[in-house]
Amino acid sequence: MTADEVRRYLEFYQDLGVKTVFRREAAAGTAIEPHVEATPVQAPALPTLEPAGDTLLKILEDIGDCKRCRLHEGRNKLVFGTGNEQAKLVFVGEGPGADEDEQGLPFVGRAGQLLTQMIEGTARKEGIPLERRDVYICNVVKCRPPENRTPQPDEMEICGQFLYRQLQAIRPKAICALGSTAAKALLGTKEGVTRLRGKWQRWRDIPVMVTYHPSYLLRPYNQNAKKEAWEDLKKVLHYVYD
């Protein structure tokens, strides 16, 4: 493994929130050689993090009939993503719900309808010619968690490799992270949406705006959050499309 490959794997696990790397000790009386050429090291059993010429189709083929974590056990359909494969803006949510699991498409239930209204309504008011089909929408995990629970860290880690490849293949001008799970997956932070929203963050070299998940905005007691989410979206749309 070259030094560049080692760096890329370390960056990948850092993005997933891994803070500690353990080093295997050599047997007693055996020196650890500093040159990796002398002792070949097998790379982790992951797909290439950023394959040359990677495409969304290739990523979907690599996922296949995924059974890498427990979420596949209750899955009806895998939910990969939808929208413009050359989009300047990508929305990342948490995971599929019941409607998404049934149709195999992200954000098609009540939360998805609200997201569509937010995108198209805000764009129209701001004089930006944009429809939902012009952006790309995906989730951190591709299978529905039981009872719509929050994805577990190991589930996010396994699916995270494919999310990162999706983002690298599209190379959008900006990413909008919907909710705390998406923010944690992209930024490796424990801070909540309230603290993160409204300010630009960064995933690798791509600007990220964190805002509330549409399902949170559907709750009747979150009217102030609705106004804040619209402001966040206005900021994103003007940055990307002005």
Q: Looking at the 3D structure of the chain, how many domains does it have?
A: 1
pLDDT at residue number 10: 60
The secondary structure of the chain as a DSSP string is --HHHHHHHHHHHHHTT------PPPPTT-PPPS-TTTS--PPPSS--SS-TT--HHHHHHHHSS--SSGGGGG-SS----EE-TT-SEEEEES---HHHHHHT-SS-SHHHHHHHHHHHHHHHHTT----GGGSEEEESSSSPPGGGPPPPHHHHHHHHHHHHHHHHHH--SEEEEESHHHHHHHH-----HHHHTTSEEEETTEEEEEE--HHHHTSTT-HHHHHHHHHHHHHHHHHHH-
Q: What is the average pLDDT value for the chain, to the nearest integer?
A: 86
pLDDT at residue number 172: 98
> What is the biggest distance separating any 2 CA atoms in the chain, rounded to whole angstroms?
72
CATH code: domain of residue 123? 3.40.470.10
Domain membership of residue 12 (yes or no) is: no
pLDDT above 60 (res 132)? yes
Higher pLDDT, 85 or 11: 85
What is the rounded distance in angstroms from the CA atom of residue 94 to the CA atom of residue 181?
A: 6
Higher pLDDT, 104 or 15: 104
Domain membership of residue 67 (yes or no) is: yes
| pTM exceeds cut of 0.75 | yes
Which region among 19-33, 73-87, 109-123, 161-175 has the lowest average model confidence (pLDDT)? 19-33
Mean pLDDT along residues 10-27: 51
Structural domain harbouring 198: 53-241
Contact 8, 49 (CB under 8 A): yes
Domain membership of residue 137 (yes or no) is: yes
pLDDT tens figures, 145-187: 999 999 999 999 999 999 999 999 999 999 999 999 999 999 9
pLDDT tens figures, 44-98: 334 445 677 899 999 999 999 999 999 999 999 999 999 999 999 999 999 999 9
Domain membership of residue 8 (yes or no) is: no
Which region among 122-126, 191-195, 220-224 has the lowest average model confidence (pLDDT)? 220-224
Domain membership of residue 37 (yes or no) is: no
Domain membership of residue 84 (yes or no) is: yes
Domain membership of residue 11 (yes or no) is: no
Which region among 39-43, 197-201, 205-209 has the lowest average model confidence (pLDDT)? 39-43
Domain membership of residue 143 (yes or no) is: yes
**Band (3; pLDDT cuts 50, 70, 90):** low
What is the rounded distance in angstroms from the CA atom of residue 22 to the CA atom of residue 150?
A: 28
pLDDT at residue number 12: 54
